[in-house]
Amino acid sequence: MRKPLIAGNWKMNLLYSKVPEYLQTLSREINAKSHLKRDQVDVLLAVPAPFLGIAREYGEKNGILIASQTVHEKADGAFTGELSIPMLKDLGIRWTLIGHSERRQYYNETDAAVALKTKACLDHGINAIVCVGETRAEREGNQTETVLKRQLEAVLQQTGKADNFVIAYEPVWAIGTGLTASDEQAQAAHAFIRTVLRQKLGGAADGMRILYGGSVKSSNIKGLMQQPDVDGALVGGASLDPVEFARIVDCQ
Ligand code: 13P
């Protein structure tokens, strides 16, 4: 059985001074759902770098995992503005997103760079949530599977293990647009992703979590979570409100 993982990605939003209140509200809202067993779902927030320390402190108290939104593959050096895995570990952070489409689009993160970052995370025992997904033009050109395979194989060439490794399928056309992939589109992409993972990782791929991301809200999460290969969500805009995010956590 794969334990669901509901992850929020704050992107470049919210403020340091609001972090304690947000985490306390989220925890209170989740706890108020008495049917929801805290140990049956992992809840995670990927926060801006300056918030990592305080978010970890309040996350730990409230049973919420905290992640970085990106990381550099080198342990240290002259890389102005970057953040290393030893720095994350020193802060008590054990999770990071890698290769979000906004990093690929605005900061030229290539498949090769995503692969190196993932390898560095897995080598250091940090959990990597690797984002993949096609653009609208690629979907309309029937290139979805070709793109997913290329993005995944780049990573799988560098990493031969399934531990500490989560995939987030985020169709670029569904991010921040209000357009969600239908339950069937999400399932088809997730099943394809698992097939590609299985080719390289064998049966271990069946234990890997594949998250869906792209305009997830409390109104559409249930249908997505009913799909056999959808093991959780990566939520952008709707994660900025702790009350709405708690409703999404309550997704079973
Ligand atoms: P939205 O939920 O705002 O569409 O963002 C999805 C996303 O990019 C999460 O990483």
> Tens of pLDDT along 28-47?
999 999 888 888 999 999 99
CA separation for the pair 42, 210 (Å, rounded):
13
pLDDT at 38: 84
A 10 A CB-CB count for 228 gives: 10
Reference 179, options 231, 140, 131, 232; nearest CA is: 140
pLDDT digits (tens, 9 = 90+) for 154-202: 999 999 889 999 999 999 999 999 888 999 999 999 999 999 999 999 9
Domain 5-251 superfamily per CATH = Aldolase class I (3.20.20.70)
pLDDT digits (tens, 9 = 90+) for 124-150: 999 999 999 999 999 999 999 999 999
Q: Does any ligand 1 atom lie closer than 6 A to the CB of residue 27? A: no
Q: What pTM was estimated for this model as a whole?
A: 0.97
Nearest 5°: phi and psi at 211? -95, 150
Q: Does any ligand 1 atom lie closer than 6 A to the CB of residue 69? A: no
Ligand 1 pocket: which of 5, 6, 9, 135 to mutate (most atoms within 8 A of CB): 9
Burial class (CB in 10 A: 0-12, 13-18, 19+), 207: middle
Cα-based distances in Å from 117 to 98, 103, 108, 166, 218: 7, 12, 14, 14, 32
pLDDT digits (tens, 9 = 90+) for 83-130: 999 999 999 999 999 999 999 999 999 999 999 999 999 999 999 999
pLDDT at 251: 85
